[in-house]
Amino acid sequence: MIDLIKQYWQSYLWGSPTHVSGLAMTLWLTVSCCTMGFALALPLSVARAAGPSWIRWPIWLFTFVFRGTPLYIQLLIVYSAIYGLEFVRNTPGFGAFFKDALNCTILAFTVNTCAYTTELLTGAVKATPRGEVEAARSLGLSGISLYLRIVLPSALRRALPAYSNEVILMLHATSLAFTATVPDILKVARDANAEYYLPFPAFGIAALLYACLSVTFISLFRKAEQKWLKHLSTT
């Protein structure tokens, strides 16, 4: 077990500058996918909550499909099926993009978290008290400024606890990345287990690292809630 740790501790944590792996890779997957997913979900949720019906139902369909199917299948489709299509391989830009496992993984994860985030942000936007919107209208705000100054600031606050859940779920979901050969924490654990055949320490270290990441994210979100949801605290 000591040998396992000696040989693999660096891979578990960050790998090397040319080959990032382990904790650093998991963190990168989580942060990049959540950031991009959130950025895409923000306009989608406003459109879903307040747009015309021809824009509402395609967004509903998108969230329905991506929330109703396992992420593992979505990843398999993006990683293995799409690159298998001949016209994708022969189109230069596409071919190069889908050949890279990391690109495929980030794409699949981003779209998935975007679907979940769209759904929870839609709920938060829809829950905006009518009075707030009416007050803003009576003060002459409309369109974009109504959303930027009144609806979104309060909706994002309301969505914060649910969004922190989504980020933790996404962190856990990144462990699927190893099935697409991306060297995240779990991939390193499997390599270590394959070499030493010590499953308990190999996967136990991985579990410990994930637990540390979860705790860190939870405490960061708790800080954020203390800051932005101060008006709701009972103490």
Footprint of another protein on this chain (CB under 8 A)? Answer: 64-65, 68-74, 76-77, 80-86, 88, 171-176, 179, 185-186, 189-190, 193, 197, 199-200, 203-204, 206-207, 210-211, 214-215
| Closest to another protein by CB, 50 or 76 | 76
Tokens of 114: 């975007």
**Rounded to 5°, angle at Cα 118 from 114 and 120:** 120
Provide the terminal-to-terminal Cα distance of the chain, rounded to the nearest Å. 48
Instruction: Please enumerate in sequence order all residues whose Cβ is within 8 A of that of 166, keeping only pairs 6 or more positions apart, or say none.
Output: 34, 113, 116, 117, 120
Q: What single DSSP character describes residue 22?
A: B
- 17 — phi, psi (to 5°)? -55, -30
CB 2 to another protein: min, Å: 18
Nearest distance in Å: CB 70, another protein: 4
The DSSP secondary-structure symbol of 159 reads H
Shortest gap between Cβ of 133 and another protein (angstroms)? 23
Phi, psi of 139 (to 5 degrees): -90, 5
**Least distance in angstroms from the C-beta of 171 to another protein:** 8
Task: Please say which residue, 46 or 176, places its beta carbon nearer to another protein.
Answer: 176
* 3 state SS of 182: coil
Q: Where are the beta strands (DSSP E) in 21-153?
A: none
Q: How far is the CB of 87 from another protein (least distance, A)?
A: 9
Question: By C-beta, is 44 or 185 nearer to another protein?
Answer: 185
Maximum Cα–Cα distance across the chain: 70
Nearer to another protein, 106 or 206 (CB): 206
Q: Looking at beta carbons only, is 69 or 226 nearer to another protein?
A: 69
When the beta carbons of 116 and 147 are compared against another protein, the nearer one is 116
CB of 119 to another protein, least distance (A): 12
